Amino acid sequence: MSDSLPAKPRSLLRRYLVAGYATFIVYASLAPFIGWQEQGLEFWAVLTSPLGLTYTGFDALSNLLAYFPFGLLLALTMRTYFGKGGSVLLATLLAMSLSGAMEYLQMYLPMRTSSNVDILTNSIGALGGALVMVSTGGRAWFVRLTQWRIGLFRQGSGVDFGLALVMLWMFAQINPSLPMLGNVFITEPAFRMLVAEPDQPFNIWESMAVALNLLMVGALLLTLLRIRRHVVLGLVVLLSVVALAKFIAAALLLKSWALLLWLNGEAILGIVIGVLLITGVSWLRHSRLIWVTALGALIYVVLSYWVLDSGTPSAAMRLYQWRYGHLGNYNRLSHLVSLVFPLLLGAYLWLARASYKHHQEGK
């Protein structure tokens, strides 16, 4: 029997990822969404202007890398319905259309510059991602990996949305200017390393925020996995990936003295408390687990908004050795995601509760 990709109902995760990544592109292209005004530019003139008048190699590389995953995700979604050639063509055209729309809107933002080279490099990046996907998506190892993923997690309403939330959480956590599992920018510790000031007291509230953050993602895994004991391995994998990604990002982007600022005492204590909390809630029934997770998310929001003093994303730029605007956009985006995540988790829990209630009534 030949291997084949999963049926269409399992493609919801792909759609969520495409929608989420498109949202990221819109945010990065148009942030901070202020100062809209007519500048007397014609889009046709932008498209026909000489290539690369004020363009750098870094601009080209960042555009290629930004749209490569988008093209891959688009082609992965299109592959469910079309052949290889059609998937590549549609993915590239959709990515090119989004890039063109962003360049058009940037004409009304004095802080941004529209460029036909952006559209070209974005399209090439999306094309590369689409080609990589169609060349690997039908291979036996990819099919087995997809089937393993389907078998590892529960089936039902909202499961794919929950998996997308896990990936969204990981995206926000790999920012090296955020503490491990935290949402407060580490600007003050960095400032104290440059200027002689008395050490600040240990902040137990930051540890509680880290613990609740870990509780949220751990409980999310408990509602997703078929076998609950796999949550321990899942958390180990998630934390290892996040820690490794943070270290690599810090080594590439941060100044040398800020390399390990993301790993502080509050974060370590919070992780220990979070593991204990997850161990305790893992014994709860599904319905009670949902309520406990919702309560933890609510307390996390209260701590984040009204108790802890969150540093601004722009202030965190002092930690970086690069000054490109892309980093400022990423800081703002990751900070926003870390604060919106509990709200999206609440929406997922509502879906999970309704699905569980329907399952119980069907017995």
Structural domain span for residue 298: 153-361
Final residue before a domain boundary, out of 105, 122, 150: 150
Q: Are 126 and 91 in contact (CB under 8 A)?
A: yes
User: Hey, what are 268's tokens?
Assistant: 């370590």
What's the number of domains the chain is made of? Answer: 2
User: Hey, what are 322's tokens?
Assistant: 């690069």
User: Hey, what are 67's tokens?
Assistant: 């749209």
Strand partners for 254: 320
Whether residues 307 and 342 fall in one domain: yes
Residue 3 lies in a domain: no
Residue 1 lies in a domain: no
Whether residues 336 and 285 fall in one domain: yes
C-alpha span between 170 and 143 (Å, rounded): 24
Residue 280 lies in a domain: yes
User: Hey, what are 50's tokens?
Assistant: 């000489």
Whether residues 330 and 219 fall in one domain: yes
For 175, phi and psi rounded to 5 degrees? -65, 120
Q: Write down the pLDDT at residue 199.
A: 55
* Statement: residue 305 has pLDDT above 80: no
List, for residues 89-122, the tens digit of each pLDDT value.
999 999 999 999 998 998 888 877 778 888 999 9
Final residue before a domain boundary, out of 119, 150, 181: 150
Whether residues 56 and 166 fall in one domain: no
List, for residues 36-68, the tens digit of each pLDDT value.
888 777 777 777 776 655 566 777 888 899 999
Q: Are 20 and 160 in contact (CB under 8 A)?
A: no
Residue 274 lies in a domain: yes
C-alpha span between 29 and 201 (Å, rounded): 40
Radius of gyration of the chain from its Cα atoms, rounded to whole angstroms? 22
Whether residues 309 and 290 fall in one domain: yes
Whether residues 129 and 183 fall in one domain: no
Whether residues 319 and 184 fall in one domain: yes
For residues 338, 339, 340, 345, the Cα torsion angle rounded to the nearest 10 degrees is 80
Whether residues 331 and 312 fall in one domain: yes
Residue 285 lies in a domain: yes
Final residue before a domain boundary, out of 105, 134, 150: 150
Label residue 313 by pLDDT band (50, 70, 90). Answer: low
Q: Write down the pLDDT at residue 196.
A: 41
The per-residue DSSP string of 100-131 comes to: HHHHHHHTT-TTS---HHHHHHHHHHHHHHHH
* Statement: residue 198 has pLDDT above 50: no
**Which range, 171-180, 183-192, 312-321, is most confident?**
171-180
pTM of the model as a whole = 0.81
Q: Write down the pLDDT at residue 21.
A: 93
Whether residues 95 and 205 fall in one domain: no
Q: At what angle do helices 57-78 and 116-136 cross, to 10 degrees?
A: 40
Residue 2 lies in a domain: no
Residue 351 lies in a domain: yes
| Residues in Cβ contact with 301 at an 8 Å cutoff, skipping those fewer than 6 apart | 339, 342, 343
Whether residues 20 and 80 fall in one domain: yes
For residues 231, 235, 236, 240, the Cα torsion angle rounded to the nearest 10 degrees is 160
C-alpha span between 312 and 332 (Å, rounded): 8
Query: How does the average pLDDT of the chain come out, rounded?
Result: 81
Residue 27 lies in a domain: yes
Whether residues 51 and 181 fall in one domain: no
Average pLDDT over residues 327-332: 77
Whether residues 78 and 221 fall in one domain: no
Residue with tokens 């979070």: 274
